[in-house]
Amino acid sequence: MKVLSVIFARAGSKGMKNKCVSRIDGKMVAEYSIEYSLALGKEVKTVVSTDIDSLINYCKDNNIDYIMRDPKFCRDEVAIDGAVADAIEQMGTNYEYFNLVYGNIATRYPDLFHQALNFLKEYKDYDAAISMQNVEKYNPMWMFDYNETILPEGHICQYRRQDLPQKMIHDGHTFLFRIDRFINKYRCVNPYKSDHMYSIYGDKIKPLINNDVIVDIDTEKDLKLAESVIIH
């Protein structure tokens, strides 16, 4: 297997507690991510990284591989690349690519993953392939901070909507990167500081434009929106 696909789901989220095991149409939110990963093909090894008892029991009942996430990588101040390194340490480095799957996103489609994998296979100089969405009305050029001042990048008076410079944002759907390059970069960071540049990005990223509706569940409002997308 070339790809280690890990679903990350921790209990201690402050935005919405137990969001990964909240229910949509009778399933835990994380179940949707697990099912998505399991359907990606023979090149992909699916593993759940968690500290949630109900999710561990679900994995046991359904013969799904899981690892216990090290408690020191479950704290709020620890960046995601610490949890990634923990998963690699537990699963070994016999994989070429790492597919980072956030357990709080219930709407995913396999085409983008295969697009990312095919791209990285062909273009060896790229470290990662990441799904992005175009930023339109929420462009940073129109943003203020809480002191009611324009953010450093912005200059709200100069831009009409149609004149805004094009920006992209990672939507959480697909995040595929080379494991060897991650390990080399990770050695140079402090994973216990959330303000460092994540080593999962590498140095050269391929953005993959995604036009599908992706709901990153962090609030009850997000949960209701995801439910409307999935059920309707």
Q: Which two tokens stand for residue 128?
A: 């990662």
Q: At CA 67, angle to CA 208 and CA 181, rounded to 5? A: 40
Whether the per-residue pLDDT at 96 is higher than 70: the answer is yes
pLDDT of residue 85: 87
pTM across the whole model = 0.86
Distance CA 65, CA 63 (A): 6
Q: Which fold has domain 3-231?
A: Spore Coat Polysaccharide Biosynthesis Protein SpsA; Chain A (3.90.550)
Report the range of poorest mean pLDDT among 97-111, 134-148, 201-215: 134-148
DSSP classification of residue 63: T
Beta-bridge mates of residue 135: 167
Cβ atoms of 48 and 65 closer than 8 Å: yes
Q: At CA 53, angle to CA 113 and CA 37, rounded to 5? A: 10
Whether the per-residue pLDDT at 132 is higher than 70: the answer is yes
